[in-house]
Amino acid sequence: MIYSVLKRLLFLRDPERVHDLMLARLATAGNSAAGRALLHSFAGAPISSPVHAMGLLFPHPIGLAAGFDKNASAIPALQALNFSFLEIGTVTPRPQPGNPKPRVWRFPEANTLVNALGFPGEGMNVVRERLEELRERKLIRVPIGINLGKNKDTSAESAPSDYLAVFRELSDAGDYFVVNVSSPNTPGLRDMQSVESLKLILHPLLELRAKSPKPLLVKIAPDLSNDDVIAIARLVREFALDGIVSANTTINRAQVPRAASLDRGGLSGSPLYPRTLHLAKLLRSELKAEQTLIAVGGIDSAGRVKEMLEAGANLIQIYTAFIYEGPRAVRNLLEGIG
């Protein structure tokens, strides 16, 4: 109720500025016990429904997708808002500004966003320091995923060393790791979803994982053909990875006419759902039972949560629904787990 009033004001302003402002406010509120308690009172009491996956314990299945907190700046606040796990990033080895602005657009008529951010971020060293400090202060109480990326100016040939650098730097600081080869906003990135390119990225990561064991997953694009998705799922089986995050944003604009004129960016939110549900069923039939499926894309109602879990997802992530629903988003979606 309060959020619907606030949202009307916030939605008058540029989406990225609002995001930066809210993230800064969350970071400040999360710094004190009183701030966290206030946030938690806005969010409502969560429903407990523990999930064991990837050797980790999650209080319930609903977490925050990558991209909201790219630099690990608001973790205590996001926990207070009931997320059962947080995927930080995409983290790149070096800091970078991302693509030119404007680069985030809202389409409320379709519960959709389009973003062309291109991994702006402070780089892996800053993220490691923040996570270490939070762990020292015992402020982290849910599993933390790290979404791994490459810098924009890193060539395709050198991409494997970027993914390895971030994995190595953050392997003690994160609880699970996701190889992101599916953002449409870094030129050439999605080409790395070919099985041959993926193998080149995964080999060094697996060598490191053998020494410092941490769950490793791959995040795919919803725009891949079913055959390509099956090929990746088989690679994930063959390489004994821990699972798949499905899916990233889409370049398809068919269902949001007002977004059709945007010549860049990935679309998120409600229109993704039919594809991500189909992918969940397909992936569940290809992956081993012990491999984790994290479903993400257009999950914005308790009914959709229920359907995704029934389709075989172990865990759920949201991003766009959080923007449109506000602090009670997780509580409301948890009605679907019963």
Q: Residues interacting with ligand FMN, by CB under 6 A?
A: 65-67, 70, 89-90, 104, 113, 115, 117, 119, 147, 180, 183, 219, 248-249, 268-269, 272, 296-299, 318-321
Q: Which residue, 35 or 266, has its beta carbon nearer to ligand FMN?
A: 266
Secondary structure, 3-state, the chain = CHHHHHHHHHCCCCHHHHHHHHHHHHHHHHCCHHHHHHHHHHHCCCCCCCEEECCEEECCCEEECCCCCCCCCCHHHHHHCCCCCEEEEEECCCCECCCCCCCEEEEHHHCEEEECCCCCECCHHHHHHHHHHHHHCCCCCCCEEEEECCCCCCCCCCHHHHHHHHHHHHCCCCCEEEEECCCCCCCCHHHHHCHHHHHHHHHHHHHHHHHCCCCEEEEECCCCCHHHHHHHHHHHHHCCCCEEEECCCECCCCCCHHHCCCCCCEEEEHHHHHHHHHHHHHHHHHCCCCCEEEEECCCCCHHHHHHHHHCCCCEEEECHHHHHHHHHHHHHHHHHHC
Which among 183, 246, 268, 270 is annotated as catalytic?
183
Nearer of residues 35 and 319 to ligand FMN, judged by Cβ: 319
Judge whether 183 counts as a catalytic residue. yes
Q: How far is the CB of 268 from ligand FMN (least distance, A)?
A: 3
Q: How far is the CB of 170 from ligand FMN (least distance, A)?
A: 15
Instruction: Please give the residue whose beta carbon sits closest to ligand FMN in the complex.
Output: 67
| Min dist. Cβ of residue 275 to ligand FMN (A) | 11
Q: How far is the CB of 335 from ligand FMN (least distance, A)?
A: 17
| Separation CA 226–CA 240 (nearest Å) | 21
- Confirm if 32 and 80 have CB atoms less than 8 A apart: no
**Side-chain half-sphere exposure of 245, counting CA atoms within 13 A:** 30
Give whichever of 29 and 104 is closer to ligand FMN, judged by the CB atom: 104
Q: Are 324 and 298 in contact (CB under 8 A)?
A: no
Question: Min. distance of Cβ 94 from ligand FMN in angstroms?
Answer: 15
Report, in Å, the least distance between residue 125 CB and ligand FMN.
18
Structure tokens at 258: 């007002």
Q: Which residues are marked as active site?
A: 183
